[in-house]
Amino acid sequence: MKRRLNVLMVDDHPMIIEGYKNTLLSKYQEDFSITVDIASDCDEAQDLIKKRAKTKPYDLAMIDIKVPASKDGTITSGVDIAIMLKEHHPKAYIMILTMHNEGNRIHNILQNINPEGFLIKSDLSSREFARAFEDVIDGKTYYSATVNNHFRKTISNNFSLDQKNLQILYHISRGVRTKNLSNYINLSLSAIEKRKNYIKELFDMKTANDEQLIEEARKRGFV
């Protein structure tokens, strides 16, 4: 009897989604009965995650990190989507697939999500994608070569940014002024100022303006 798999794919590039979907449906059709839901932005992903939680829980989610944010700005990336998925679909395995290979970004994904699968798209071949899928579905962990290399380099890094700090950087990068950030993030203005100063200290740029702060955050892979 075929094993049933409900899969969520989150990516805003249709050709990439088609590649994932075609590989799964063609290669594993004898072993699995696979149903695929597709989301191209954070709003679509949020709707599917909540809708399917009670009727068709996901067994696996394949999530890109850089996808269009929700219209209300509360869900800004695939990291937020993965965290939401863990809450509503606690038994689902998570595979992160992304083009972004910056060390700090990888470190934060590992710390905040700890996905079962983590692949950099430049490492990806059909064979590696299939191997990752098989390992993750079997309850194992699969990281591609770039992730493993960065993991070894950054595991000793003594700092990272939590979701609130990442949201502060995200909204500043979109042009929101500090005094208005509390309209987008559930924190007081004083708490936001403290977090912003903390980020500047971590980046060793205490006197930086917003433009300089975001430029450095992009270099480090936080935006």
Question: How confident is the model over 68-120, as pLDDT tens digits?
Answer: 999 998 899 999 999 999 999 999 999 999 988 777 778 778 878 889 999 99
Other Cβ atoms within 10 Å of 150 Cβ, number? 22
Other Cβ atoms within 10 Å of 175 Cβ, number? 9
Is the pTM for the entire model greater than 0.75? no
The predicted structure's pLDDT at residue 155:
46
Grade residue 152 by pLDDT with cuts at 50, 70 and 90: low
How far apart, in whole angstroms, are the C-alpha atoms of residue 148 and residue 145?
A: 5
The predicted structure's pLDDT at residue 153:
56
Confidence check: pLDDT of 154 > 60:
no
Nearby residues of 131 by Cβ (< 8 Å), 6 or more positions away: 142
* Residue 53 or residue 147, greater confidence: 53
Delineate the domains of the chain, giving CATH numbers in brackets: 3-154 (3.40.50.2300), 163-219 (1.10.10)
> What tokens were used for 80?
């937020």
Grade residue 160 by pLDDT with cuts at 50, 70 and 90: low
What ranges in the chain are assigned the alpha helix state H? Answer: 14-27, 42-55, 78-88, 103-112, 126-137, 145-154, 163-173, 189-202, 210-219
- Three-state SS for 70? coil
* Residue 197 or residue 52, greater confidence: 52
Between the two ends of the chain, the Cα-to-Cα distance in Å is 45
Grade residue 209 by pLDDT with cuts at 50, 70 and 90: very high
Confidence check: pLDDT of 156 > 50:
no
The predicted structure's pLDDT at residue 59:
97
The predicted structure's pLDDT at residue 216:
87
Q: What is the 3-state secondary structure (H, E, C) of 76-117?
A: CCHHHHHHHHHHHCCCCEEEEEECCCCHHHHHHHHHHCCCCE
Nearest to 7 by CA among 27, 16, 45: 45
Grade residue 125 by pLDDT with cuts at 50, 70 and 90: confident
